[in-house]
Structure 1
Amino acid sequence: MPLIQWDETMSVDMDELDEQHRELIDLINETYTAIQRHDEPQMILLLDKMRDYSIVHFEAEEAILRSCGYPGTEAHAAQHRSFEARVADFRRDMFTKTNLSQVFIFLSRWLSSHIMHEDRKFIPWLPETDDEGA
């Protein structure tokens, strides 16, 4: 069973971003499994994948926010850059001083908090969606 479970309270009401958030949660769950197995080679692969995917996601999310005129776009982007730097630090220090549990704790807390508190702030600026499929 995954440690972090997606639910509708995490939704930002935009399928593209919700799907990307689900992918990030899946990567964190895979990270947790690798930590439990003490699988450092898998951790390296997952950190690289997390870094690469988060860059793609953040670029997409920031482009959407800019196109919608969200006033907090720059501050939101700065949070993304901070996350990217932290993941890069974990990756760089993988074999010297990084505690694998610290990696998981940071990733899981940051993502959950970011989605639930920061990403949900921009929902009012997103375009309306037609839930009835008209």
Structure 2
Amino acid sequence: MPLIQWDETMAVGMEELDEQHMELIDLINEVYEAIQRHDEPMMSRILEKTRNYSDAHFETEEAILRSYGYPKTEEHGEQHRTFTAKLDEFKRNMHTTANLSQVFIFLSRWLSNHIMNEDREFIPWLPETNDEGA
């Protein structure tokens, strides 16, 4: 059973972004499973997969934000770059100093906070959620 469950309170109202957020949650659940099994090789593969997928997602999200004129697109992008830098650090240090639980805690907290707080700020700029022409 997955540890983190997607629910509609996480939705930003744009299908493409919501589906990508669901995939990121699935990847974090895979990280949790690898930790439960103490499977470092699996963890390494999942971190790489998460890094690649998050790159594609962040690129898509930032392009959408730019196209709809979201004024904090660059600031939002900086948060994305901080996340990927931390993923790279975990991957580099996984066999030396990284604690697998720390990896999961970081990923789950960051993603939950980012989707539930930071991503909610751009909802008024998206066409599916902008009913009143904000």
Structures share a fold, TM > 0.5?
yes
Cα separation, 1, equivalents of 2:120 and 2:55: 19
Q: Match of 1:68?
A: 68
Is 1:12–2:12 an aligned residue pair?
A: yes
- The residue correspondences of 1:47-58 to structure 2 (distance < 5 A) are 47-58=47-58
Q: Secondary structure at the match of 1:97?
A: coil
After superposition, give the CA deviation of every residue in 1:88-124 in whole Å (9 maximum; x if it has no partner): 0000001010000000000000000000000010000
Is 1:28–2:31 an aligned residue pair?
A: no
Q: Which consecutive segments of 4 or more residues in structure 1 shift more than 3 A?
A: none
After superposition, give the CA deviation of every residue in 1:38-65 in whole Å (9 maximum; x if it has no partner): 0000000000000000000000000000
Runs (5+) with no aligned partner, structure 1: 130-134
Q: Match of 2:118?
A: 118
Shift of 1:14: 0.3
Q: Match of 2:43?
A: 43
Q: CA RMSD in A?
A: 0.7
Q: TM-score, normalised by structure 1?
A: 0.95
Runs (5+) with no aligned partner, structure 2: 130-134
Cα separation, 1, equivalents of 2:28 and 2:86: 15
Q: Give the letter aligned to residue 44 of structure 1.
A: S
Shift of 1:128: 2.8
Q: Give the letter aligned to residue 84 of structure 1.
A: T
| Contact in 1 for aligned 2:68/2:126 (Cα 8 Å) | yes
Cα separation, 2, equivalents of 1:43 and 1:95: 11
| Contact in 1 for aligned 2:44/2:91 (Cα 8 Å) | yes
| Contact in 1 for aligned 2:35/2:101 (Cα 8 Å) | yes
Cα separation, 2, equivalents of 1:121 and 1:20: 17
Q: Give the letter aligned to residue 128 of structure 2.
A: E
Q: Match of 2:3?
A: 3
Q: TM-score, normalised by structure 2?
A: 0.95
